Structure 1
Amino acid sequence: MATIDYKVPLGRLDHVGQGLSRPECILAQQNGVLWISDDKSGVVKLSPDGTQERIGELGGAPNGIAMDRDGSFVVANIEHGTLQRLNRDGSSEIMLLELDGTPLGAVNFAIFDSAWRLWVSVSTRTVPRREAITDPRPDGYVMLIDRGVARIVADGFYFTNEVRLSLDEKILYVAETTRGRVTAFDIDGAGNLSNRRIHGPDGFFSGALVDGVTVDADGALWITEISRNALIVAPPEGDPVIAVEDPTSGPMHFPTSITFGGPELRDAYVGSLKMDRLAHFRAPVAGPPPVHWRIG
Structure 2
Amino acid sequence: MKKTILIILALLNASYLFAQKNIFIASDLSKEGEFTSNCEGPAVDKKGNIYAVNIKQDGTIAQITPDGKTSVFLTLPEGSVGNGIRFGSANTFFVADYMQHNVLKVDLQTQKVSVLAHVPAMNQPNDLAIMSNGTIFCSDPNWTASSGQIWKVTQDGKAELLVKDMGTTNGIEVSPDEKILYVNESVQKNVWAFDISPLGTLSNKRLLIKFDDGGMDGMRCDDKGNLYITRHGLGIIDIVSPQGKIIQTVKMKGKLTSNISFGGKDGKTCYVTLQDRKCIETFRSNNAGREWKMMKKFK
Structure 2 residue 192 is matched with structure 1 residue 183: yes
How many correspondences in the alignment? 270
* Deviation sequence 1:131-187 (CA, Å, 0-9, x none): 23xxx3x3x111112242211111222111121111100000001111112111001
Q: 1:71-116 deviations in whole A, cap 9, x for unaligned?
A: 2332112233322223333432333332xxx432111012321111
Stretches of structure 1 lacking an aligned partner (at least 5 in a row): 1-6
Other-structure match for 1:144:
152
Contact 1:221 1:234 (C-alpha < 8 Å) held by counterparts: yes
Question: Is the partner of 1:291 in helix, strand or coil?
Answer: helix
> Which is further off, 155-164 or 79-88?
79-88
- Separation (CA, whole Å) in 2 of partners of 1:60 and 1:274: 22
Matched-pair identity in %:
23
TM-score normalised by the chain length of structure 1: 0.81
Rate the CA distance shift 1:92–1:255 in 2: closer, same or farther, 3 A.
same
Alignment of 1:27-46 (within 5 A): 27-38=43-54, 40=57, 41-46=59-64
**How far apart are the structure 2 equivalents of 1:10 and 1:209?**
24
Q: Distance in 1 between matches of 2:87 and 2:46?
A: 13
Q: Secondary structure at the match of 1:257?
A: strand
User: Offset at 1:198?
Assistant: 0.6
Q: Does 1:292 align with 2:295?
A: yes
With over 3 angstroms needed to count, the CA separation of the structure-2 counterparts of 1:56 and 1:238, relative to structure 1, is closer
1:226 aligns with 2:247: no
Residues 3-14 of structure 1: matches in 2 within 5 Å?
Answer: 12-14=25-27
Q: Where do 5+ consecutive residues of structure 2 fail to align? A: 1-19
Contact residue 24 and residue 284 of structure 2 kept, 8 A:
no
Q: Give yes or no for contact 2:26–2:251 (8 Å, CA) kept in 1.
A: no
Deviates most, 216-225 or 236-245 = 236-245
- 1:229-286 deviations in Å (ceiling 9; x for gaps): 221111234732451245xxxx223101121211121111112333332111122333
Is the 1:57–1:90 Cα contact (8 Å) retained in structure 2? no
1:75-154 counterparts in 2 under 5 A?
75-88=95-108, 89-98=110-119, 102-124=120-142, 129=143, 131-132=144-145, 136=146, 138=147, 140-148=148-156, 149-154=158-163
Which amino acid in the other structure matches residue 79 of structure 1?
M
Secondary structure, aligned partner of 2:278? coil
Aligned equivalents of 2:211, 2:26: Cα separation in 1 = 23
* 2:216 paired residue number: 210
Q: What secondary structure does 2:126 align onto?
A: strand
Q: Distance in 1 between matches of 2:103 and 2:68?
A: 29
Hey, what's the Cα distance between the residues in 1 that align with 2:298 and 2:23?
Answer: 33
* Contact 1:216–1:286 under 8 Å retained in 2: yes
1:116–1:173 distance in 2 versus 1, CA, 3 Å: same
Runs of 4+ in 1 over 6 A off after TM superposition: 7-11
- Tell me, what secondary structure is at the counterpart of 2:267? coil
Q: Which SS does the other structure have where 2:295 is aligned?
A: coil
**Aligned position for 1:3:** none
Instruction: Give 1 or 2 for the bigger CA radius of gyration.
Output: 2
The AA in structure 2 aligned to 1:169 is: E
> What is the Cα deviation at residue 27 of structure 1?
1.1
Q: Distance in 1 between matches of 2:22 and 2:166?
A: 33
The verdict on how the C-alpha distance between 1:274 and 1:62 changes in structure 2, with shifts beyond 3 A counting, is farther
Provide the TM-score with structure 2 as the length reference: 0.81
Following superposition, the deviation at residue 49 of structure 1 comes to 4.5
Counterparts of 1:11 and 1:63 in 2: how far apart (Å)?
25
| 2:273 alignment partner AA | G
**Cα contact 1:212–1:224 (8 A) shared by 2:** yes
Cα separation, 2, equivalents of 1:254 and 1:86: 27
Contact 1:8 1:244 in 2 (8 A): no
